[in-house]
Amino acid sequence: MDPVTGNAAGAPHQGAPAGAVPDLGALLKRSARGDEAAFAELYDATAARAHGLVLRVVRDRAQAEEVTQEVFLEVWRQSGRYDADRGSALAWLMTIAHRKAVDRVRSAEAATRRDVTYEETNRSVAHDETAEAAHASLEARRVRAALAHLTDVQREAIELAYFGGYTHTEVAALLDLPVGTAKTRIRDGLIRLRDSIGVGR
Amino acid sequence: MTDHDLHALSGAYALDALDDDERARFEAHLADCAGCREEVASLGEAAALLGTEPVEPPAAVRDAVLSGIRSIRPLPPITSEPAAEPVDDLAARRTRRSLVQRIAGTPLIAAAAVVLLLAVGTAWLRPWTEDPTPPPATAVEQVLRAADATRVDKEFPDGSRATVVLSRSLGGAVIQTEDMAPAPQGKVYELWLQRPDGAMVPAGLMPDDPDAELRLEGDATHAKAVGITIEPDGGSELPTTTPIAVLDLAT
Ligand SMILES: [Zn+2]
């Protein structure tokens, strides 16, 4: 992997719990006013997390880096649209990151169908279980504990959708579920996850 | 699809696990269903924590981002309730615009329902690293990176923009839009390539995504313009409505 960069600039250590990062909502608000320093701080606090997710979904390192760049340009552009009443700044940012990553894998896939071959890169990131991939922070322990409450099918469905970028219909096919049931497994699993982590309303 | 079926998509929506069509329908449903809005928000919080091992991106990404933002103006906050205006009314207003006006390339869009905002980055159009072994290009990237790629921006009075990137050598065109309002329920944005003789050839449907970027179907080698119309779901063989935008490729 790449040499770890950015820590010299005071980035929080990898795996820092959400509570240790600066007030992301406030940084977004300042970014919306054109405050580049605030945005740099936001970047340093969230880039590793967003990039970890993007890389997991996109798998190809070079493409993931492009997507992460797009994500943060988009975050800057949309910063004034973040509404604290509708959720946390981190979730908002991760939603943008995930959406861009999924768009990238799906458009790459569409291109593959047209172009004859698509060289499979060997740069895929480890495909380990979510629980194992989770880092040893308090938050990660909570997530891990919460994941243990899911049924295998719920967990697999969520992982295939979230990290694999598959649609619920594709997830159903991958898991040999009747069409239309994967979305229910995903929803039930997420609700259980939400309730046991204790986020949201 | 019944309301009940639509409610059941909240989890898949929160994980971006809907196809374009379902996403469009669910987003239309979200506008009317406070329960789903609430649920999607809370499930999004849960999903954000699923995140995986943090990985620091290379310093080049940070540099590119921090220099890239200097040329991007953050969007203003939304100051009123969004998209409450009835679409039919907008369509009617659009129809009242004269054809001459449209052809002359004057503002085609006043309607909030069809806001095409600045396609962010010229930075996005260029590979930003000097990586000697770039990944295989997607169909979109091939066009964006073509040596003869040219851009056509359409700027509207409210500051919104759509961008078409054309490579005649590849015969390909890519359209980029941002913050595009969803098409009215049961409708879809259809793309067209205008042939030199003026005929409009179907070039695909826009995904129901405010930040769309896609390669138009068909051969754009001799295309004169790219048009966007609102069509019934599934699209049409010929435009059935006046284009909401025409981007002239001739210049
Ligand atoms: Zn609902």
Q: Hey, where are the domains in chain A?
A: 21-113, 115-201
Whether B185 shows a pLDDT value over 70: the answer reads yes
Whether B122 shows a pLDDT value over 90: the answer reads no
B35 touches chain A (CB under 8 A): no
In the prediction, which pLDDT does A27 show? 97
Going by C-beta distance under 8 Å and a sequence separation of 6 or more, which residues neighbour residue B53?
A: A14, A52, A56, A133, A134, A135
Structure confidence by residue, pLDDT tens digits, B130-144: 333 344 567 777 787
Whether A38 shows a pLDDT value over 50: the answer reads yes
Cα separation, A117 vs B112, whole angstroms: 42
In the prediction, which pLDDT does B56 show? 96
Tell whether the torsion through CA atoms of A47, A48, A49 and A51 is positive or negative: positive
> What are all long-range contacts of A39-43, with beta carbons under 8 Å and residues at least 24 apart?
A39/A76, A39/A79, A39/B66, A39/B69, A40/A9, A40/B66, A42/A75, A43/A72, A43/B62, A43/B65, A43/B66
pLDDT band at A1 (very low <50, low <70, confident <90, very high): very low
Going by C-beta distance under 8 Å and a sequence separation of 6 or more, which residues neighbour residue A115?
A: B136, B139
The total number of residues written for chain A in this structure: 201
Percent of chain B with pLDDT over 90: 25
In the prediction, which pLDDT does B49 show? 86
In the prediction, which pLDDT does A199 show? 72
- Taking CA–CA distances from B44, the nearest residue in chain A reads A91
- Rounded to an integer, the average pLDDT of B225-245 is 84
Do the chains contact at A43 and B75, CB–CB below 8 Å? no
- Taking CA–CA distances from A81, the nearest residue in chain B reads B77
Do the chains contact at A88 and B55, CB–CB below 8 Å? no
- Say what the pTM is: 0.56
- Rounded to an integer, the average pLDDT of B170-183 is 83
Q: Which fold has domain A115-201?
A: Arc Repressor Mutant, subunit A (1.10.10)
Structure confidence by residue, pLDDT tens digits, B58-98: 999 999 999 999 999 999 988 765 444 444 444 444 443 43
Whether A71 shows a pLDDT value over 80: the answer reads yes
Percent of chain B with pLDDT over 70: 75
Instruction: Give counts: helices (H), strands (E), chain A.
Output: 9, 0
Residue B171 three-state SS: coil
Q: Which CATH number fits domain A21-113: 3.40.50.620, 1.10.1060.10, 1.10.3720.10, 1.10.1740.10?
A: 1.10.1740.10
